[in-house]
Structure 1
Amino acid sequence: MQVFYATQFVLPLPPGHRFPMEKYRLLRDRLAAEVHDVQLMQAEPATDGELALVHTPGYIQAISDGSVDPRILREIGFPWSPAMADRARRSVGATIAACRAAFRDGVAANIAGGTHHAYPDKGGGFCVFNDAAVASRLLQAEHARHQRRPLRVAIVDLDVHQGNGTARIFRDDPTVFTLSLHGQKNFPFRKEASDLDVDLPDGTGDDAYLQALERALDELAHRFDPGLVIYLAGADPHEGDRLGRLKLTWDGLEARDRRVFDWAWQRGLPLAFAMAGGYGHRMEDTVQVQVNTFAVAAAYARRWHNRPR
């Protein structure tokens, strides 16, 4: 299973900043040591042309040269630096590469990504560019060179925060289905309309969450026929997350991952996933949730490799 990373590009954040940048390096190190059949590969940056499939030229330029409006920087939550701009491009590039690899291998991943709060002309909530949106549009363009039927993409967003930017980008696009399971009272407080939103009350635990997920995937299958799945496997529904407000256990999150991977496997759908959010009181808890996701993914990647040709 190919896994793309940009962990060597670290944002210079001020002391006390609440974004856990170190989690990406810790995850990469643990994957290299513990998860078999994973090929770690450095991500290339997304180009201006690729980003422009979703984002406005002015916003792309402003992020590139540092002229971005200070109000937008406050919404993003990161100070501007050349490293911030480069890492944002590579995070998108990693999801693009994972989607391409998923068509070859069945399953592939981005160690970071899941930047679903980014709109065409602005970022927000620690998201600069929208990786799933750019990857969807680019893979659709590449697919159109060889196929008459447009590539239909299902974005299954299981970060605890609603994918408002993604919902806005694709709200009038019948070729992309946006599904978001998220905390009803959590950020963003003004939500957009996804194709399917499932609002969960604070304190939702394993059983209620998994039942809601099952119903949502059934409805997705009833309403839409995708050719690619992009899965945002947020660690922040975990009961130990500082920002999550839900109560999923280790076992509940692993069951969540198995259900999504199995849903795609049963339909023969390539699946690319990104790690999205995770803000545990203990960073090692966030990393453990993510390692568990990769272990599930690697098992399904082996099934793809061994399937009858």
Structure 2
Amino acid sequence: MIKIAYDAIYAHPLPEGHRFPMLKYELIPEQLLHEGTITTENIFAPQPCKEEVVLLTHDKTYFDKLIHQTLTASEQRKIGFPQSPQLTQRELIITQGTIDCCMHAMQYGVALNVAGGTHHAFADRGEGFCLLNDMAVASNYLLQKKHAHKILIIDLDVHQGNGTAKIFEYEPHVFTFSMHGAHNYPFHKEKSDLDIPLKDGTDDETYLSLLKETLPALIKKIKPDFAFFLAGVDILSTDKYGKLQVTITGCKQRDEFVFMVLKKNNIPVTVAMGGGYSPDVRTIVEAHCNTFRAAVDVYG
């Protein structure tokens, strides 16, 4: 059974101007339940991640600032959200959701977090709407518990996973692969193990061709025994911040291909939604729901 992490706090109301991008977290499971792609049995609500697990990845000084609400004004501006206890709690729950998904993925092949993919968070700071790096925390947890030996992070958000790249810069057991818009945020890119910067206006054919050339060969080379897939839908041509020209059909084909390759190679995968900022929330929800539909189609 495919398991999906979701808690109502994922859609926690934020000050005016931030509510719209949060609304998708509420609408995605509603749509999937409505159409019958999933049932309530597929969904579980994670608990907050424990401090000792977060500290496998993040600095204690930074973690204490999040817990005690002592981030400076400058630190809050870099994150993009004003600090609040609810926001910190939300991040802790999302992070644990990604860890829990790993356990389910090892049993069922795939598991998905309705939120997550907070790849701009560094060990000592947050950036770009990201406080804690859920995939980095989950990767370090898997390594510590010896659930995995070689992890592949497939980051297909339009923005480079700069925080993830920096966190694992010297970690040989985690391979970071980011395929992103060359001229998208962050404007200073860190060095992933493999970066593929895409030209503005990259279309379905070019995007999918590059992915199909790269991913199977990468898996053959590094032989991962666990994968994370950051399935951002900000690669869409309609995205307010992206600079690519991928259609909603092309985005779905991306998801299908990633799942098929991983299943063929018997590599369990945890999926997080990442970004999506098209002006019409229905476009965002449909594209994200396609990721869940593709998982159901491939894994059954």
TM range (shorter): over 0.9
**Cα distance in structure 1, aligned partners of 2:20 and 2:195:** 26
* 2:138 is the counterpart of 1:131: no
**What is the 5 A alignment of 1:1-309?**
1-17=2-18, 20-37=21-38, 39-143=42-146, 151-302=149-300
How far residue 281 of structure 1 moved from its aligned partner, in angstroms, is 1.0
Q: Any conservation in 1 of the 2:115–2:274 contact (CA below 8 Å)?
A: yes
Instruction: Name the aligned partner's letter for residue 119 of structure 1.
Output: F
> 1:285 Cα deviation (Å)?
0.3
Q: Letter of the aligned partner of 1:88 in structure 2?
A: E
Q: CA deviation at 1:141?
A: 1.4
**Identical columns (%):** 40
Is the CA contact 1:113–1:131 (under 8 Å) kept in the aligned structure 2?
Answer: yes
**Distance in structure 2 (CA, Å) of the matches to 1:284 and 1:107:** 25
Hey, what's the Cα distance between the residues in 2 that align with 1:195 and 1:19?
Answer: 33
The answer to whether the 8 Å contact 1:9/1:86 transfers is: no
Give, in angstroms, the shift of residue 254 of structure 1: 1.0
> In 2, distance between residues paired with 1:47 and 1:19?
29
SS of the residue corresponding to residue 33 of structure 1 reads helix
> What is the distance in 2 between the residues matched to 1:253 and 1:219?
21
How many angstroms apart in 2 are the aligned matches of 1:10 and 1:229?
A: 26
Tell me the CA shift for residue 221 of structure 1: 2.1
Structure 1 residue 240, shift from structure 2 partner: 1.1
So what's the TM-score if we normalise by structure 2? 0.96
Q: Hey, what's the Cα distance between the residues in 2 that align with 1:267 and 1:109?
A: 19
CA gap 1:141/1:160 in 2 versus in 1, 3 angstroms: same
Partners of 2:10 and 2:94 within 8 A in 1: no
Question: Which structure 1 residue ranges, 4+ long, deviate > 4 Å from structure 2?
Answer: none
Which one-letter code corresponds to 1:129 in the other structure?
L
For structure 1, the 5+ residue unaligned runs are 145-149, 303-309
Structure 2 residue runs of 5 or longer lacking an equivalent are none
Name the aligned partner's letter for residue 300 of structure 1.
V
Q: 2:32, 2:38 within 8 Å by CA — same for their partners in 1?
A: no
Q: Distance in 1 between matches of 2:20 and 2:255?
A: 24
Query: Per-residue deviation at 1:218?
Result: 3.4
The structural deviation recorded for 1:173 is 0.9
Q: Against the structure 1 CA distance between its residues 275 and 56, is the aligned structure 2 distance closer, same or farther, given a 3 Å change threshold?
A: same
Kindly provide the CA deviation profile for residues 31-80 of structure 1, in whole angstroms up to 9, marking residues without a partner as x.
Answer: 22224345011121111111001000111111011011221111110111
What amino acid sits opposite 1:56 in the alignment? D
Question: 1-side partners of 2:119 and 2:47: how far apart?
Answer: 20
Q: Distance in 1 between matches of 2:227 and 2:194?
A: 15
Which one is further off, 187-196 or 30-39? 30-39
| 1:189-223 CA-partner distances (Å, limit 9, x unpaired) | 00000010000011111000001111221341243
For residue 234 of structure 1, report the CA deviation from its aligned partner: 0.3
Q: Give, as a single letter, the amino acid of the residue that structure 2 aligns with 1:196.
A: L
CA offsets 1:85-117 (integer angstroms, 9 cap, x no match)? 100101101100111110011110100000000
In the alignment, is the contact (CA less than 8 A) between 1:198 and 1:216 conserved in 2? no
Contact 2:10 2:115 in 1 (8 A): no
| SS class of match (1:109) | strand
In 2 relative to 1, CA 255–9 (structure 1 residues): closer, same or farther, beyond 3 Å? closer
1:143 is displaced (CA, Å) by 2.0
User: 1:7: Cα distance to partner?
Assistant: 2.8
- Any conservation in 2 of the 1:35–1:294 contact (CA below 8 Å)? no
Greater mean deviation of Cα atoms: 217-226 or 66-75 = 217-226
Whole-angstrom CA distance in 2 between matches of 1:48 and 1:263:
35
Cα RMSD (Å): 1.4
Distance across 2 between alignment mates of 1:301 and 1:43: 23
